[in-house]
């Protein structure tokens, strides 16, 4: 949508970037800028910067950048117009509308309605004669009707055009069904139902609206799960299945499972704080979604090797989002569904009480991998455990777990603590070098040419001081992105242009003699071989 420039300027000026960013990460002031771990990718060394005076952010690690609108677009996985509304709502500003944006909203609302109609049809089929075998399958799995109603479960009949015909009769067009991912096309261009002979799980957004579907095969059909394709109302990396219920739970933490059935069975057993990813590994966006609702999350992934690997990756993503992590160690069962069947809800509750934090979990995996039956195994265990403990933020934590490692190996805990502290110092020096390479001396990292550096510096000066007069024209800039930024420097910026602007203003600080610096940049751009001074 083409929001008025004056409105976007007001929105940007009135937004407190530090307060906004602090909802997702913890910025610390260093000089005129604020630094933090980037909320958009996992990192140990802070490379995310905020310049509150200009209302801009920039990450030297992933090159994300821009103003408050671009930040919220990434943080909340929103479209531009939705991000504007989000920020306006925080400030109490009325949002000007236009017909183009209204049309987009109508299309999204229509897509939600199409999904609602499809969910209703699937639900009705489950209670019909053709859904009898699916209902029997659910009974065999211990899935109760009242919980099935709560989750809106349904059945997709073993027909090629059952849903297609019913939706057409309800006035839904083929194009609408295709955008919603409810139908597919064969090689001849004909349409057929995307979900057939499957137990259907509607996927809800946080507002409880149906945005997609996941269908589980009843027998040995492949794939075991079939999920809706992404659409204007469904981006799987930004949703957690069951979160629309879990966010209302009285429990102060969430349980993260691997699949829809696990979430269903956990809720049925009384754990209404269970969620799952939608057919993907845990993403940064999903971790931030969890962080907005809870401070702690318990991972209940499958106990096999794949589940252990997924757990390790999820821990890293969740820690980067500021979520405390605990991990279930399921023995005698493959997944939460199997465990509850074997030991009941009481057994699972005890499992949660006995859950390990991520350090305990990782140490237990190391102990299983290196059982200390030989000196070689002891050395390997000590080496990896030392590297792990060096990541802990406080000396007290490092000493506590060093004592555990020492006890496992039967050696002096002081010796382990000494090794851990040495590894921590080495890690700290490496982090300082990485920070210097990324933030303090970015030009060394990027190996920019003198011409490119001149263009960037000139743009930074003109963006920071728009009143400066210049002899440069758009044609003087070599790269298309620089030409575009020069031409639009007086307009509200968006997308990649905003990120480039933020990066330039972050790299090139204010200069005491801006006029001379700009003149020097003009010379270097128009005559790259000319000598110049450093301002």
| pLDDT tens column, 170-213 | 999 999 999 999 999 888 888 999 999 999 999 999 889 999 99
Distance CA 113, CA 455 (A): 50
Question: Please, which pLDDT band fits residue 435 given cuts at 50, 70 and 90?
Answer: low
Is residue 472 within 8 Å of residue 486, measured between CB atoms? yes
* Kind of pairing between the strands at 183-185 and 191-193: antiparallel
Residue 29: predicted pLDDT: 84
Which stretches of 390-513 are DSSP H helices? 395-409, 413-435, 442-446, 450-464, 480-487, 495-507
**Overall average pLDDT of the 305-324 stretch:** 85
- Going from the C-alpha of 521 to that of each of 441, 473, 510, 535, the distances in angstroms are 20, 13, 15, 10
518: tokens are 């700009």
Evaluate if residue 351 carries a pLDDT over 60.
yes
Evaluate if residue 438 carries a pLDDT over 60.
no
Q: Which of 111-120, 241-250, 271-280 has the lowest mean pLDDT?
A: 271-280
Residue 96: predicted pLDDT: 82
Is residue 416 within 8 Å of residue 383, measured between CB atoms? no
Q: Which of 111-125, 145-159, 217-231 has the lowest mean pLDDT?
A: 217-231
Kindly report the backbone phi and psi dihedral angles of residue 248, in degrees, each rounded to the nearest multiple of 5, phi listed first.
-100, 0
Question: Please, which pLDDT band fits residue 326 given cuts at 50, 70 and 90?
Answer: very high
Residue 441: predicted pLDDT: 47
| pLDDT tens column, 352-369 | 999 988 888 889 888 888
- Going from the C-alpha of 518 to that of each of 289, 454, 467, 490, the distances in angstroms are 44, 9, 12, 18
Distance CA 330, CA 367 (A): 16
Task: Specify the length of the chain in residues.
Answer: 535
| pLDDT tens column, 382-409 | 999 998 898 887 888 889 999 999 998 8
**Overall average pLDDT of the 244-265 stretch:** 94
**Overall average pLDDT of the 241-263 stretch:** 94
**Overall average pLDDT of the 120-140 stretch:** 96
Evaluate if residue 101 carries a pLDDT over 70.
no
Residue 444: predicted pLDDT: 40
Distance CA 303, CA 329 (A): 7
Evaluate if residue 69 carries a pLDDT over 70.
yes
**Overall average pLDDT of the 437-441 stretch:** 48
**Residues above pLDDT 70, as percent of the chain:** 90
Residue 203: predicted pLDDT: 96
**Overall average pLDDT of the 445-465 stretch:** 74
CATH number for region 5-91: 3.90.580.10
Evaluate if residue 90 carries a pLDDT over 50.
yes
Distance CA 104, CA 232 (A): 10
Q: Which of 35-49, 370-384, 431-445, 494-508 has the lowest mean pLDDT?
A: 431-445
Residue 173: predicted pLDDT: 94
CA-closest candidate to residue 193, choices 209, 206, 207, 174: 174
Distance CA 214, CA 210 (A): 11
Mean pLDDT of the chain: 85
User: How many CB atoms neighbour CB 225 within 10 A?
Assistant: 17
Evaluate if residue 376 carries a pLDDT over 70.
yes
Distance CA 145, CA 165 (A): 27
Highest mean pLDDT of the ranges 322-326, 345-349, 445-449: 345-349
Residue 436: predicted pLDDT: 54
Residue 82: predicted pLDDT: 84
CB-based contacts of 229, cutoff 8 Å, min separation 6: 181
Evaluate if residue 256 carries a pLDDT over 90.
yes
**Overall average pLDDT of the 39-58 stretch:** 81
Q: Is 429 exposed, middle or buried (0-12, 13-18, 19+ CB in 10 A)?
A: exposed
Residue 530: predicted pLDDT: 53
Distance CA 232, CA 218 (A): 29
Topology of the domain covering 104-234: DNA primase DNAg catalytic core, N-terminal domain (3.90.980)
Is residue 457 within 8 Å of residue 521, measured between CB atoms? yes
Residue 431: predicted pLDDT: 60
**Overall average pLDDT of the 478-487 stretch:** 85
Residue 347: predicted pLDDT: 95
Q: Is 187 exposed, middle or buried (0-12, 13-18, 19+ CB in 10 A)?
A: exposed
Question: Please, which pLDDT band fits residue 235 given cuts at 50, 70 and 90?
Answer: confident
Evaluate if residue 443 carries a pLDDT over 80.
no
Distance CA 246, CA 264 (A): 12
Evaluate if residue 446 carries a pLDDT over 80.
no
The more confident residue out of 495 and 350 is 350
H or E, element range at 106? helix 99-126
Question: Please, which pLDDT band fits residue 510 given cuts at 50, 70 and 90?
Answer: low
| Interior angle at CA 73, CA 285 and CA 434, nearest 5 | 65
Is residue 242 within 8 Å of residue 276, measured between CB atoms? yes
Distance CA 466, CA 472 (A): 13
Evaluate if residue 139 carries a pLDDT over 90.
yes
Evaluate if residue 11 carries a pLDDT over 50.
yes
């Amino acid at each position: 949508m083409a929001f008025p420039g004056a409105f976007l300027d007001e929105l940007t000026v009135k937004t407190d970037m530090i307060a906004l960013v602090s909802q997702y990460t913890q910025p610390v002031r260093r000089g005129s800028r604020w630094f933090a771990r980037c909320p958009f990718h996992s990192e140990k060394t802070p490379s995310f910067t905020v310049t509150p005076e200009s209302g801009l952010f920039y990450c030297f690690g992933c090159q994300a950048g821009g103003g408050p609108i671009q930040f919220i677009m990434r943080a909340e996985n929103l479209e531009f117009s939705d991000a504007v509304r989000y920020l306006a709502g925080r400030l109490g500003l009325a949002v000007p509308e236009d017909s183009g944006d209204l049309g987009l909203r109508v299309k999204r609302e229509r897509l939600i309605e199409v999904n609602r109609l499809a969910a209703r049809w699937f639900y009705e089929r489950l209670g019909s004669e053709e859904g009898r075998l699916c209902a029997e399958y659910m009974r065999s799995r211990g899935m109760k009707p009242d919980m099935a109603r709560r989750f809106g479960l349904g059945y997709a009949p073993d027909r090629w055009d059952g849903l297609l015909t019913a939706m057409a009769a309800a006035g839904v067009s083929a194009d609408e069904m295709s955008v919603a991912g409810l139908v597919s096309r064969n090689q001849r261009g004909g349409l057929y139902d995307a979900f057939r002979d499957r137990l259907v799980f509607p996927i809800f957004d946080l507002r409880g609206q149906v945005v997609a579907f996941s269908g589980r095969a009843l027998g040995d059909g492949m794939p075991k799960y079939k999920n809706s394709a992404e659409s204007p109302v469904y981006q799987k990396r930004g949703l957690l299945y069951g979160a629309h219920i879990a966010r209302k739970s009285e429990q102060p933490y969430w349980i993260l499972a691997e699949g829809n059935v696990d979430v269903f069975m956990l809720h049925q057993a009384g754990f209404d704080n269970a969620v799952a990813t939608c057919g993907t590994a845990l993403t940064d966006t999903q971790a931030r979604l969890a962080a907005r609702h809870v401070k702690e999350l318990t991972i209940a992934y499958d106990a096999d090797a794949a589940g252990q690997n997924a757990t390790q990756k999820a821990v890293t993503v969740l820690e980067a989002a500021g979520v405390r992590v605990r991990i279930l160690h399921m023995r005698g069962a493959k997944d939460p569904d199997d465990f509850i069947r074997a030991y009941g809800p009481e057994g699972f509750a005890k499992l949660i009480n006995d859950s390990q934090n991520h350090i305990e979990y990782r140490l237990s995996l190391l102990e299983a991998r290196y059982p200390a039956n030989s000196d070689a195994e002891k050395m390997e265990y000590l080496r990896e455990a030392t590297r792990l403990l060096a990541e802990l933020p406080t000396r007290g934590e490092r000493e506590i777990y060093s004592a555990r490692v020492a006890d496992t190996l039967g050696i002096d805990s002081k010796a382990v603590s000494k090794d851990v502290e040495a590894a921590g110092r080495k890690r700290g020096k490496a982090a300082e070098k990485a920070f210097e390479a990324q933030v303090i001396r970015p030009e060394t990292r990027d190996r920019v040419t003198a011409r490119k550096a001149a263009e960037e510096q000139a743009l930074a000066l003109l963006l920071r001081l728009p009143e400066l007069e210049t002899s440069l024209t758009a044609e003087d800039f070599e790269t298309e992105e620089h030409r575009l930024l020069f031409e639009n420097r007086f307009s509200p910026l968006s997308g990649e242009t905003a990120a480039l602007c933020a990066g330039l203003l972050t790299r090139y600080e204010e200069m005491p003699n801006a006029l001379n610096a700009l003149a020097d940049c003009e010379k270097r751009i128009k005559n790259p071989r000319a000598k110049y001074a450093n301002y």
